[in-house]
Amino acid sequence: MSSNVRSGFLSLFWSVVVAGSALADCGAQSLMLNDLLKAGDLGNAEHVVREIGLARDCGPADRRAARHDFAEKILEKAEGLRADPTQADAAARMVEEAAAQDVFWAAAVALGDLQVTRHAYVDAARSYQDAIDLIASEEDAATIAKIPPDTLTYLARRADETRHLAAAGANGTLVAARPDRAGNLGGAFSALLDRGPEAVRVPSPILFVYDSDQFTPVGRDAAEEFVRVLKERHPSSIVITGHTDRIGSNAFNLELSERRAQKVASFLKDNGVTGTITIVGKGRSEPRVLSDPTAYTQEQIDELNRRVEFDWKP
């Protein structure tokens, strides 16, 4: 029997069986879902996922596993369609459906990437932070360990970049990080993204009025958020580094970056952050390392380079 014939047979078979799936126990439904996903029958698989969600003998882990496997298969199919420009809309809908299961971090990343192409930076910042939080919530440390370090680096940079772009402009919005299960801020500030035991480097969308050291309203909100992060992490020493864009003289940009770093340092101290604080001004000498420079216009790259970064040690 050819694979296509077998797949069609299984689809017909399970379409009959699924109608009575509410009567099956959780183990039987999980096996049914596995067979449907292997056959590529996403329509009937979706029905079984719903049944597993309602079944009394299915626990939270069963429901999460069902949604995860379903989302993974949808994303796999979406990836297969992306090479065909005529299927771009269908692939996008599949990515959105996979991410809507709210359990599979790779689907959240794919949705964030899609939202960046749409210039929907508020939504993208939420999606990337959702992906980080989904990884951090994995109970199996071995599962987290399998995720390549460059994937986490990409996620960290994308979350930072899209939070910054969402915060910029007259209608800027702070896409705040949400608390994790321990009550500490996750997302862009998740301990999962710590760059090693010796030091942690985190940009934050603490933005300033153009050519000034005065916070924008969103910039102040971001500074307040960062106060909470530092109080949760209790660093012994903090280095605050100001950066500017490429526009203007070296001398002006260096002085401006120092003033902005000092403004943040004063704000942290005034709000009860302890630890030794050192300020550094880099001016325009160290442009931000971007996740993908081709994803942004030069104007956006200039905006992203106007930033404050923090290094701290426990």
What is the tens place of the pLDDT at every residue in 237-283?
Answer: 999 999 999 999 999 999 999 999 999 999 999 999 998 999 999 99
Q: Does residue 3 belong to any structural domain of this protein?
A: yes
Would you say residue 19 has pLDDT above 50?
no
Q: What is the pLDDT of residue 117?
A: 96
Residue 124 to residue 109: CA distance in whole angstroms:
9
Residue 93 to residue 73: CA distance in whole angstroms:
14
Would you say residue 195 has pLDDT above 60?
no
Would you say residue 23 has pLDDT above 60?
no
Q: Which of 221, 123, 228, 149 is nearest to 186 (CA)?
A: 228
Indicate the range of 32-36, 253-257, 310-314 predicted with least confidence. 310-314
- By residue range, what is the domain housing residue 91? 1-100
Q: Does residue 116 belong to any structural domain of this protein?
A: no
Residue 289 to residue 223: CA distance in whole angstroms:
22
Q: Does residue 65 belong to any structural domain of this protein?
A: yes
Q: What is the pLDDT of residue 124?
A: 98
pLDDT tier, 16 (very low <50, low <70, confident <90, very high otherwise): very low
Q: Which residues contact 239 (CB under 8 A, 6 or more apart)?
A: 277, 278, 279, 280, 310, 311, 312
pLDDT tier, 308 (very low <50, low <70, confident <90, very high otherwise): very high
Dihedral, 79, 81, 83, 88 alpha carbons, nearest 10: -110
Q: What is the pLDDT of residue 24?
A: 64
CA contacts within 13 A on the Cβ side of 102: 2
Q: Does residue 96 belong to any structural domain of this protein?
A: yes
As a three-state string, the secondary structure of the chain is CCHHHHHHHHHHHHHHHHCCHHHCCHHHHHHHHHHHHHHCCHHHHHHHHHHHHHCCCCCHHHHHHHHHHHHHHHHHHHHHHCCCHHHHHHHHHHHHHHHHCCCCHHHHHHHHHHHHHCCCHHHHHHHHHHHHHHHHCCCCHHHHHCCCHHHHHHHHHHHHHHHHHHHCCCCCCCCCCCECCCCCECHHHCHHHCCCCCCEEEEECCCECCCCCCECHHHHHHHHHHHHHHHHHCCCEEEEEEECCCCCCHHHHHHHHHHHHHHHHHHHHHCCCCCEEEEEEEECCCCCCCCCHHHCCHHHHHHHHCEEEEEEEC
- What is the reported pTM? 0.89
Q: Does residue 165 belong to any structural domain of this protein?
A: no
Residue 124 to residue 113: CA distance in whole angstroms:
7
Q: Which of 109, 108, 44 is nearest to 70 (CA)?
A: 44
Would you say residue 25 has pLDDT above 70?
yes
In tens, the pLDDT along 155-175 reads 999 999 999 999 998 899 999
Q: What is the pLDDT of residue 14?
A: 45
Which residue did the predictor score with more confidence, 94 or 146? 94
In tens, the pLDDT along 104-115 reads 999 999 999 999
Helix axes 88-100, 105-117, angle to 10 degrees: 140
pLDDT tier, 13 (very low <50, low <70, confident <90, very high otherwise): very low
Q: Does residue 91 belong to any structural domain of this protein?
A: yes
Q: Does residue 134 belong to any structural domain of this protein?
A: no
Computed over every residue of the chain, the mean pLDDT equals 90
- When divided into structural domains, the chain yields a total of 1
pLDDT tier, 200 (very low <50, low <70, confident <90, very high otherwise): low
pLDDT tier, 199 (very low <50, low <70, confident <90, very high otherwise): low
Q: Does residue 282 belong to any structural domain of this protein?
A: no
